[in-house]
Amino acid sequence: MPKHLVFFGPPGSGKGTQASRLASALGIPQISTGDLLRSHVARGTPLGAIARPIMESGALVPDELVTRMLKERLGEPDARRGAIFDGYPRTVPQAESLDALLGETGGRVDAVLFVDVPDEVIVDRLVKRATLEGRSDDSPATIRERLRVYRQKTAPLAERYRSARLLVTIDGNRPVDVIAADVRRAVDGAGNTPR
Ligand code: B4P
């Protein structure tokens, strides 16, 4: 049975870092909508041209564009055995689309890992990353906007997944290896819970 796991959390919580590790450990792809969008921007595609100013402002790219892109990625052969979603879904309509997309092949979301980190730690991490990597959406003003958008549009998903008994909260304010061990325990446990 393919496994479909979702990482969710505020910007800079480390969900990308953990998603990448888990993907290697389980041998299934990490699907990061942020990375896919950045690749469209770098290649100068029509989607990239629309996404670029939106990402630089800290807002969300429209649901239908992101979902179309995700559907294409999910259709690639390596995603047949499952996938780790990183940064998707980010809104309630995206969560509904994900359920529908996975449902088409008899799949479902198996677990949602919520990487929880306090705001002051996030701002600190992203400001540091701005110096190291120069990502254009890591300016202090954009970081504040990304956090605001996260609280307004993405944080409500926690309730949806909590009531579906899929949510596992992981303390993301610890060393990467310690978090990864917790994630692994959570994922191994999730497969054994009847729903
Ligand atoms: P993303 O690329 O998903 O950016 P993000 O949520 O801000 O996550 P980020 O990569 O920064 O952080 P992560 O938690 O991995 O999206 C960028 C933009 O694309 C969005 O703002 C939006 O415009 C658009 N977009 C993407 N998906 C979308 C969607 N579904 N719908 C609409 N729009 C969408 O944390 C990584 C950082 O933490 C790194 O610097 C790492 O070194 C550090 N870190 C990790 N673990 C750590 C630890 N344990 N301790 C200390 N530091 C740690």
Query: Band of the pLDDT at 85, cuts 50, 70, 90?
Result: very high
Predicted TM-score (pTM) of this structure: 0.93
Residue 74: the pLDDT is 96
Mean pLDDT of the chain: 94
The ligand 1 atom at the shortest distance from the C-alpha of residue 86 is 3
Task: Kindly list the strands in the beta sheet with 30-32, ordered across the sheet, starting from the edge strand earlier in the chain.
Answer: 30-32, 82-86, 3-8, 111-116, 167-171
Section 132-152 average pLDDT: 90
Supply the pLDDT for residue 134: 81
**Model confidence at 191, in pLDDT bands (50, 70, 90)?**
low
Antiparallel, parallel or unpaired: β 30-32 and 3-8: unpaired
Distance CA 107, CA 60 (A): 26
Per residue in 12-51, pLDDT tens?
999 999 999 999 999 999 999 999 999 999 999 999 999 9
**Atom 49, ligand 1: which residue's CA is nearest?**
176
What are 89-109's pLDDT values in tens digits? Answer: 999 999 999 999 999 989 999
- Tell me the best of 13, 91, 113, 157 to mutate to test the pocket of ligand 1, counting ligand atoms within 8 Å of each CB and taking the most: 13
